[in-house]
Amino acid sequence: MTKGSRHRVAWGRGYPQYAAGGLSGLAAANPEIEGMSVQLGQIAPDFVQKSTEGEIHFHEWLGDSWGILLSHPRNFTPVCTTELGEVARLADEWKKRNVKVIGLSVDPLDAHEKWGEDIAETQGHALNFPLLADDDKKVSELYGLIHPDADPNITVRAVYIIDPNKKVRLTLTYPPSAGRNFSEILRVVDSLQLTDGQKVSTPVNWNPGDPVIIVPSVSDEEAKERFPQGFKTLKPYLRVVELDKQPGS
């Protein structure tokens, strides 16, 4: 059995096209997985590529907005159809958070346009964000979205959240059988936008409006100045505070 086939058997049971969600584990042993070079805190790779809304110069298109780059495995597949319909439905939520969303697969432009009709028909929401037609695999290879031991015509189901400074703030990869939870992706955007503006972190299962945690680098004296409403000390390193206003709440 070859190295590649072992990966397919271990991860891709029922979906032999590519390994389901195991890229992180392969990174150290397989430096050829180029996407592992796109790390948190690094500048998102820039590119120029055609899309359903014309040619996209990625960094220029982002401007001063937050961005979400979503890759989907293939057009005319059931899970991807539901995902892109949900992204379209959430247009007001993205706008409220100053987020631009862009999709990607290696399907050609005419296939994107035809599939868009199916999405509108079955999901009740027409596409209102661009889909990159990456049929030359330029962007997919730049971000490491083609698994080396898999079908080269299928991209990994991935998410990149990018801040206004063009830095990558979150990466996620999903197995082909599991659609993304966009409530969670919105929640992470809310957390990032909140914690960028204040010296706090968000605890387990946090949602906008819930108490947050004061970061340990803030002294009690500084905390009293920053949070005059008061805070609760559970341990010296664990101080909980309720904020008056939070993104998304």
Active-site option among 20, 23, 38, 80: 80
The matching CATH number, chosen from 3.40.50.1010, 3.40.50.2300, 3.90.1150.10, 3.30.1020.10, for 198-241 is 3.30.1020.10
Give per-residue pLDDT as tens, 16-40.
Answer: 333 333 333 333 333 344 444 689 9
Question: What are the residue boundaries of the structural domains of the chain, listed by start?
Answer: 41-179, 198-241
Active site residue 133: no
Task: Give residue-wise pLDDT tens across range 205-235.
Answer: 999 999 999 999 999 999 999 999 999 999 9
pLDDT in tens, 111-135: 999 999 999 999 999 999 999 999 9
What pLDDT does 248 receive? 56
pTM: predicted TM-score of the whole model, two decimal places: 0.83
Distances (CA, A) of 90 to 40, 80, 118, 141: 25, 15, 18, 28
Tell me what pLDDT residue 58 has: 98
C-alpha to C-alpha distance for 131 and 80, rounded to whole angstroms? 12
Average pLDDT over residues 65-73: 98
Please tell me which residue, 168 or 15, carries the higher pLDDT value. 168
Q: pLDDT per residue over 137-173, tens digit each?
A: 999 999 999 888 888 888 999 999 999 999 999 999 9
Distances (CA, A) of 193 to 116, 172, 188: 31, 18, 9
Q: What is the pLDDT of residue 53?
A: 97
Q: What is the CATH number of domain 41-179?
A: 3.40.30.10
